[in-house]
Amino acid sequence: MAIFLRNRTGTPVSHSLAPRLPSLRHLGPNWYATVMGTAIVATAGAALPVDVPGLRAGCVVVWALSAVLLAVVATARAGHWILHRDQARAHLLDPAVAPFHGCMSMALLAVGAGTLVVGRDVLGRPAAVAVDALLFTAGTVAGLAAAVAIPFLMVVRHRLAPGSASPVWLLPLVAPMVSAAVGPLLVPELAPGQGREALLLACYAMFGLSLLATLVVLPLIFARLVHEGPLPLALTPTLFLVLGPLGQSTTAVNQLADVAPGAVPAPYASAFGAFAVLYGVPVMGFALLWLALSAAMVVRALRRGMGFTMTWWGFTFPVGTCVTGAAGLARHTGLDAFGWLAVALYVLLLTAWAVAGVRTLGGLFGGTLPAAPRPLRQAPAPAA
């Protein structure tokens, strides 16, 4: 059965590949969240400070799944750009969609980190290092480009109404923080000397870049909630995105502290270790506060009829970064409390990943997810 695509003039044109690719027109950059949310299950599980039989093998399987998802989503997104360039450009000019272009970078970085952390059990260490180096380089370049390009578009092309700040604004800004958190995995793979120190300090620079940008945007998000009320029902899960820079920055400072002794002189290496605790503990405290607030808002939205959308993947990757952050604090403080916190958050992560995964498969086979997005619906006002 043939279907028709439209060319640049809008005229229907028959295309032999069309029956195989009927759903790419509305496939946006947010689909990379499925890759991120799956990869973090593997790396977070490997970071847990507990020994659970079968956990490592399970993490390897999930990492392999994330690698397959990355290949599928990247191919589909390439097809989207080739077959539907008008829609791809429209996504860039849509202030609600454009920030999700930061997800591609984080998907590359998450799968690369998983390759070195658990994928080496299958590929061997040399191959895992090579794959991670490639994905880290590509993801970092893409993340830095998004961190500049998306705010530029927001200023010069997007028309944003006052009080329209959204947690999705953080997505292109947190991508360099992911590089800062996973880059330290490659530091010991470099020869001692300038290379190690340069990579370590580059990761630290990206930590600062992302952190300061987050501190600019986060007050706007909270002010929007206070002055304009709850987010539309479908966007309520995006509140969990705020956990991303919080958990990822805590992970970053702990990872940097782990590899600093072999990359920088002793006084600075000690300072890295002290900063990991002095920064990570209070930020983790704020992350738990935001987690509780976001969970309460999600419960409220569910009671008012919030259905499944792709925003539910926001429950996965940000929570996973808090798992790795808590696990890092457990290493550097020696406190069992942080270890059990990491385990509890990991259980939450697994639950969210399973629910989002099952609902996504249902939406794909049911045809609702590939369809054009529906208008957002505000939460109904409570009865007087």
Q: pLDDT band for 313, please (50, 70, 90 cuts).
A: very high
Q: pLDDT band for 7, please (50, 70, 90 cuts).
A: very low
- All structural domains of the chain, each given as residue ranges with its CATH number in brackets, are 22-366 (1.50.10.150)
pLDDT for res 369: 79
**What average pLDDT does the chain have?**
90
The reply to whether the predicted model has a pTM over 0.85 is yes
Q: What is the pLDDT of residues 112-163, one digit of tens each?
A: 999 999 999 999 999 999 999 999 999 999 999 999 999 999 999 888 888 8
Q: Is the pLDDT of residue 5 over 50?
A: no
pLDDT for res 371: 66
Are residues 166 and 221 in contact, defined by beta-carbon separation less than 8 angstroms? yes
Q: pLDDT band for 38, please (50, 70, 90 cuts).
A: very high
Q: pLDDT band for 373, please (50, 70, 90 cuts).
A: low
In percent, how much of the chain has pLDDT > 90? 81
